[in-house]
Structure formats: structure tokens, C-alpha cells
Amino acid sequence: MQFNLLDEFWIPVTRQDGTPEMIAPWQVTGRFVENPIVSLNAPRADFNGALIQFLIGLVQTVAAPRNNAEWRKKLKEPPSPEELKSVFSTVHVAFELGGNGPRFMQDFEIFNAEEGGVEGLLIESPGAHTKELNIDHFIKRNSSLAMCPSCCSIALFAYQTNSPSGGPGYMTSLRGGGPLSTLILGDKTHATLWQLIYLNVLEQKNFLEICGNPELPLGKAMFPWLGETRKGRRKKGSEFYGEYTTPDLAHPVTMFWAMPRRIRLNVENPSSGNCDICGGNSTTLISTYKEVPGGESYGGTWLHPLTPYYEKTAKGETNILPVHAQPGGICYRHWLGLVQQDSVANRMPARIVHEFIERARNSWQFRLWAFGYDMDNMKARCWYESTMPLLQVDPAYRCEFENYVAGMVKAASEVANNTRSAVKKAWFHRPGDAKGDISFVDAGFWMQTEQAFYDALKNLCMGIGSGANTMTIRQTWHQALCVQSIASFDAYAWEGPIEDADPKRVVVARKELGMFNHGKKIKELLELPVKQKSPGKVVKKKDK
């Protein structure tokens, strides 16, 4: 079976008028003026997350702008499909899914291994190691799915891009298992798929400077499957063998094409029928694949432009690590580190966010699109995605603005903690002994205060810009936190274990919660006068 991902119509998209379509990558700018493509339309949300990274990676690899002027021009007036087809064709050899030559994101060597069902490429399914341990109770073993070449290609790309740990020799992705990605999302005047791609492409020079070795020749240094896999660093008994793929050994674009897993799809025996993922009819369904351990093991400091990172010091050694989604989802609690640098905790937003701040125009009302899996070690528990506003702040006030915002997020975090502790105190005679996860109390609190946070941010931005005193804005935010804290407490406090119930304890915990929330620590974070008297008032909802 021949199926070249640059020629075939395999990317599901939607046009402005709602028409769904399957396109080849070069067609992304087709009919741009009269009825442009506005979104991806894959059958799974995580497939859309993978596809957009495939397209960004492709454009970054062969069609990156040389300078800012070119970027601005092409953001509005994209290259024609024919121009894209021509530049994409320079890497045509790397995008063949079947055939006798190198196969897209599959191992160069033909190896022997037991065939597994193609559902193993879905990140929520148990990996090879889990199967050996016989603990794959979530998804039944040997359940056999069949995928059309489109779904199978997306699944393969998603798997290599997000690769979870899979036991000895089964390597994680270049950004670890199930990394978080943050992309710049355009406003109404930048709402096409092309613009989404191009907003997340860096100028060539800036991209090549991040990490990796741009001096390496084209070919395997970019697309690892064009030659024999560099067998990753792994352990057998007490011995280590294999080597790391460090930034000096691979081209920067390999960040989009990393191949931690040694996989060969069985494209030799396709069948006919309906795809189990998209439901579409196909005469070339793929049902099985082989995998062996020992894929590329990405070591050293790789800094993927779409992922936020943080510094971690352990045993006297400082490492820069990619951020991963955590249980509870993505919301403004992660503002520091995703949108704004957190120099105290050494958390830094993705490179693309820095780039956006440089590129942005005042009229742009863009958002950050953050997505990723919440991983339970070897498999995904769930998929999270969320958007946050990206405000334009005059560089002259940016520092002041960011200081206040940092205080606002930290104050919210304190109040969320207070609320959870108070619920525990209300529930249990000895809160310290309380077992079980009550993170839903926090999760609800963050969700309920999210709109008030974004309103406060907008007001703060305007207030600082006009030279006004922003104290009222911070006081309003403080009130919103206190009111929601008590509301969350009241919603849960009476629902504790009945055998430990004590109404008096609930009343005391509630009173203490009010005191903590109006205490010195939180007011200092918000830079509010410590002797301020305003507890218990109802916050007036602001006009939108």
C-alpha cells in the first residue's frame, strides 16, 4: 500500500460555510478568500491536537518565514496551494506511510515481533508492558479495531508525539509522556486554519536558535525514520547501553518529528469495511502493528516551542522539564507558567508565547489554547483543553501588570487551599487523618472564579494603562474570592461522613475560613492595606 501524507486527502477539516472536507496538507490555503478552511475536524479531540502540531511542524520545517515582515505578510496573504505543494514536495520521501522505502514515523528496519492490535496506538490503551503485566483491565486485550489510513496516520503521529512510558526500553516522547502544548489562537479576523498554523510558526532564524543542531544535513537528522534508529539509552540487568539523542545529534525540526517508539504498521494486509474511529468506509483498513523496545531516547535539554517548561533541582542538579497537565484540568490557576513567566517558581511559558508578545498588535484579542493528557504513568486518564485570553499590555506597564496578576493568582491559590482545609475541618474530627481526594472542592472554586479573574485582568490592564489607581480592582477580586470560598464551603461542608458529623464544628470552620480569607497573607499578595474592613459583602457583578 502506498499512502503519501503529502499527496493523499487525509486531513479532516471544516470550511467557513460548515462543509466538512478531507484535504491534503498543501490544500490548507485553498479558496482562502471565498470559503476558507476554519478548523480541523478529526473524530477525536486529541487527534485535532496532534494534527495541528503535524501541520505547524510541516510549515516550520519547509515553509518558515525568513523574517518578521514575511511572517506578517503571509499571515494575511498565505501562499497558494500550488506554492505549498511545491515546498512540501522537497520532503516528499519522508511522508510515505507504506511502501518498501522509509515509512513515516516507523522504524527503518524490518524486525520480527508479535503483532498487536492497532488500538495500542491510542494513548488511553494499555502499552506493551502493561499487557505483559496483565493489568490492562481498562481496555480489553485483543479487542480488534481497524483504522482507515487517515485515522491510523493521526494515531501514529499522536502516539510518537505524546508517547507515554511503556516499560523498559519503551521511550517517552521528546517532551515526556503526554506533554502539554500551548498554541496561539487567533481572533475573529485571524480565524482560519492557515492563520492558526502560521501564528504558531517561528521565524526560521529564531526557531533554529532554540536548540538542536541546524548544521546537520537534511534527512535522518530531521526525520529519524529515514535511517536506522539510534537505539535509545536503556538498562539490561545492571548495565546501561544505547545512547541519548541529544540536541547536538539532531536537527531542530526533529522536535516535531521525534520517534521514541520503534513501530511498523501492518499495511501489507489491508481489509475493507468501516473505520472504527471515524466510521468512514475504506478498502485499506489497518488492524495490526509491531513494536519493539529501544527507540530514540531524547536526552539533554530540548525546548519544544509549543510547550511550557519549568526548572527542577534535585540532588544538586538543575534540569529544565516540560510541563504536563495535572488532574483538575487547565484553567487560570496555571496562568503563571503558561501565559506569564513565574520567576519565583522558575516556570516559563512556551517559546511561542514569548514570540507572540513581540509580534502582537494592539487590536489583537487572541487566546492561548492549552491542551494535553492527564497521564496515569503509562496511559492517559483524560484529555484536557482550555483557552485563556492573551491581553495586549503596553511594554511600559507590562512589569507592573504582571506583578499584580501574579499576586492575584497566588491569592486565589491561598483562598482555594483555605477552602479545602475548612471543608476538611468541617467534615472530620481530626482533619489531619482525613483520607481521600477532595480536590473537586478546589476544582470547583477555580472554575467558579475564572470569569471574575478575566474581568479583573481586563480592568487592570485598562486601569494601569490610563494611570488610574487599581486598588478597587484588586479589592473587587478579593471580594469575589471570599464570596466564592464561602459559597463552595457551604455547598460541601454539610456533606461529610455522617458518623463524624458535628454542626458546631462546621460553624467554627466557616468562621475561621472567613478570617483566613481576610487575613494579612492574602491582602499582602494583593497589595491591599492590611486593615481593611469589608468582609461578607455581596460582590456586584460587573457589566460585560
134-163: which residues touch Zn ion (CB under 5 A)? 148, 151
CB-wise, 3 or 384, nearer to Zn ion? 3
Q: Strand order of the sheet with strand 317-322? A: 317-322, 309-314, 347-348
Residue 114 Cβ, how far from Zn ion at the closest point, in Å? Answer: 25
54 neighbors 70 (Cβ within 8 angstroms): no
CB-wise, 5 or 522, nearer to Zn ion? 5
CB-wise, 148 or 409, nearer to Zn ion? 148
* DSSP-assigned letters across all residues of 495-531: GS-GGG--HHHHHHHHHHHHHHHTSHHHHHHTT--SS
Neighbours of 462 (CB within 10 A): 13
Residue 144 Cβ, how far from Zn ion at the closest point, in Å? Answer: 15
CB-wise, 281 or 417, nearer to Zn ion? 281
Residue 47 Cβ, how far from Zn ion at the closest point, in Å? Answer: 10
Cα(first)–Cα(last) distance of the chain, in Å?
56
Neighbours of 444 (CB within 10 A): 18
Residue 149 Cβ, how far from Zn ion at the closest point, in Å? Answer: 8
**Between vectors from CA 202 to CA 320 and to CA 43, what angle results, nearest 5°?**
85
Residue 25 Cβ, how far from Zn ion at the closest point, in Å? Answer: 17
Torsion of CA 448, 453, 455, 459, to 10 degrees: 160
Q: What are phi and psi of 328, to 5 degrees?
A: 105, -10
DSSP tag of 340: B
d(CA 287, CA 276): 10
Enclosing H/E stretch for 49: helix 45-62
Residue 374 Cβ, how far from Zn ion at the closest point, in Å? Answer: 25
Residue 12 Cβ, how far from Zn ion at the closest point, in Å? Answer: 9
Buried b (16+ CB within 10 A) or exposed e, 111-149: eeeeebbbbbbbbbbbbbbbbeeeebeeeeeeeebbbbb
Residue 21 Cβ, how far from Zn ion at the closest point, in Å? Answer: 15
CB-wise, 145 or 148, nearer to Zn ion? 148
CB-wise, 44 or 234, nearer to Zn ion? 44
The three grid cell numbers given for residue 87, joined into one nine-digit string: 515546498
The three grid cell numbers given for residue 225, joined into one nine-digit string: 525514520
Integer-rounded Cα radius of gyration of the chain = 26
Neighbours of 538 (CB within 10 A): 7
Q: Is 42 in the site for Zn ion (CB under 5 A)?
A: no
Residue 298 Cβ, how far from Zn ion at the closest point, in Å? Answer: 29
Residue 79 Cβ, how far from Zn ion at the closest point, in Å? Answer: 29
CB-wise, 67 or 274, nearer to Zn ion? 274
CB-wise, 98 or 308, nearer to Zn ion? 98
d(CA 496, CA 325): 29
- What residues contact 406, with CB distance under 8 A and at least 6 apart? 336, 340, 342, 344
The three grid cell numbers given for residue 528, joined into one nine-digit string: 491591599
CB-wise, 155 or 528, nearer to Zn ion? 155
CB-wise, 121 or 278, nearer to Zn ion? 278
Q: Is 387 helix (H, G, I), strand (E, B) or coil?
A: strand
| Amino acid identity, position 381 | R
CB-wise, 123 or 426, nearer to Zn ion? 123
What string marks each residue from 266 to 305 as x (binds Zn ion by CB under 5 A) or -?
A: ---------x-xx---------------------------
Residue 316 Cβ, how far from Zn ion at the closest point, in Å? Answer: 50
Number of residues located near Zn ion, criterion CB under 5 A:
5
Catalog residues that contact Zn ion under the rule CB under 5 A. 148, 151, 275, 277-278
